[in-house]
Amino acid sequence: MFNWLMIFVPVSIALEHFYPQQHLLVFLAAAVAILPLAGWMSRATEHLAEKTGEGIGGLLNATFGNAAELIIAFAALRAGLHDVVKASIAGSIIGNILLVLGAAMLAGGLRHSEQTYNAAGTRSQATLLTLSAIALVLPAAYSAAVGRGITQGMPVPSGGLVHEVVLLSVSIAVVLLLVYGLFLVFSLITHKALFVGSAAHSDADDAAPPWSLQKSLLILAGATAAIAWVSEILVGAIEPTAHEFGLSSVFVGVFVVAILGNAAEHASAISAAMKNRMDLSLAIAIGSSVQVALFVAPVLVLASLWVGPGPMDLVFPGGLVAAVLLSVLITGQVAGDGRSDWLRGVLLLAVYLIFGLAFFFVPGAPGN
């Protein structure tokens, strides 16, 4: 449908190379170029799900979809931009469980009225998101409590507060990685039945013959590589473009980057929901947030010990922590019973819009 937009892939590369000062044009071309690439990733994921099952298909989509974000985050780590990395982590978690899942429920509900999915698997992933939210709260709470105690005369921890916070963050990162590994064993091996679709859904769009496993993997890998390349161009143009429009760095990092960076998940989850495959849709949306919280964030914390000018901790700003906590809470309430409709999608999108408005007025942008 959007294949003709593929022309914007070489256009964005050419603009970035020959006219790098035209930030707005580079930004728009790269943003449009991501749309057809995300569509190809969506199709490849659906065909993979036919071969491997919806649990593994959703996991593969989340993994390939987060690859671009991981590449960009490593580049930011090398530059010492820890605040940008933290904002992108929080924005990805919030965007996937509110924007992506909300849009999928809305699109699927408008087409199929009410849809069902396996609630047991969804509740397992929601519990993991709760764990990740706790992991974000503790380092910030520890840093605030100890810092306040030091100002009131409490002894400084041996090695200094910064060292202690980094040590706590690294320890939590190791625990999260272990939990994610065990969750993969649980969902793909020992309790695979919990993550199987609640029913076999058919749709007119599924009449086309399925792709082979090799073709699906090849197209998925190619689309991911192209999205990673275009995403780097996009991110490079975002900051100067946002400055021109007077947007705060927090708003840009948490919302603009997250929306565009999660374009692949958007396309895949919405397409699956419209074909009445909500198990695949939720595996993509919630599974991507789980992977960011339990795999991507810990890997970046550990990598920062060797990459960049200094280690990164898990002390997130209070506003981001509150947003993640509330997002996890509302998602658990909305998606926990195995049923979805368009109104639930509207509720998730409304929460996302409220967060967007709140962060839009965060001080820091010119004119705010």
Q: What is the pLDDT of residues 107-156, one digit of tens each?
A: 999 998 889 888 887 888 888 888 888 888 888 888 877 765 545 454 54
- Lowest mean per-residue pLDDT among 92-101, 135-144, 203-212: 203-212
* Mean pLDDT computed over every residue of the chain: 80
Determine the pLDDT at residue 211.
Answer: 81
Measured CA to CA, the distance from residue 295 to residue 314 in angstroms comes to 13
Contact 303, 348 (CB under 8 A): no
Instruction: Specify the length of the chain in residues.
Output: 368
Mean pLDDT of 336-345: 90
Instruction: Specify the DSSP element, H or E, that contains 247.
Output: none
In a domain, 367, yes or no: no
Confidence of residue 196 (pLDDT cuts 50, 70, 90): low
Contact 296, 132 (CB under 8 A): no
Domain assignment present for residue 16? The answer is yes
Which SS3 state, helix, strand or coil, does residue 153 take?
A: coil
Please count the structural domains in the chain.
1
On the question of pLDDT at 368 being above 50, the answer is no
Task: Express each pLDDT in 17-56 by its tens digit.
Answer: 888 888 889 888 888 887 788 778 767 776 776 777 666 7
Tell whether 366 is covered by a domain: no
Within a domain: residue 298? yes
Decide: helix, strand or coil at residue 364: coil
What the block records as the tokens of 336 is 């926990």
Q: Kindly indicate the confidence band of residue 207, based on its pLDDT and cuts at 50, 70 and 90.
A: low
Top pLDDT among 128 and 162 is at 128
Q: Quote the CA–CA distance of 161 and 168 in Å, as a whole number.
A: 11
What letter does residue 42 receive in the DSSP assignment?
H
Q: Is the pTM of this model over 0.85?
A: no
> 3: how many CB neighbours lie within 10 A of its CB?
9
Residue ranges making up the domain that contains 141 = 3-360
Residue 103: pLDDT over 50:
yes
> Is residue 365 a part of any domain in this protein?
no
The answer to whether residue 224 sits within a structural domain is: yes
**Residue 309 domain-assigned?**
yes
Asked whether residue 113 is domain-assigned, the answer is yes
- Closest residue by Cα to residue 80 from 316, 307, 317: 307
* Distance in angstroms (rounded) separating the CA atoms of residues 177 and 309: 24
Q: Please report how the helices 263-274 and 54-78 are oriented relative to each other, as an axis angle in degrees rounded to 10.
A: 170
Question: pLDDT for 224-276, tens place per residue?
Answer: 788 778 877 877 787 787 777 777 767 776 777 767 666 667 777 888 899 88
Q: Does the pLDDT value for residue 298 go beyond 50?
A: yes
Q: How many helices (H) and strands (E) does the chain have?
A: 15, 2
Q: Domain containing 343 — which CATH number?
A: 1.20.1420.30
Which pLDDT score, from 0 to 100, does residue 256 have? 73
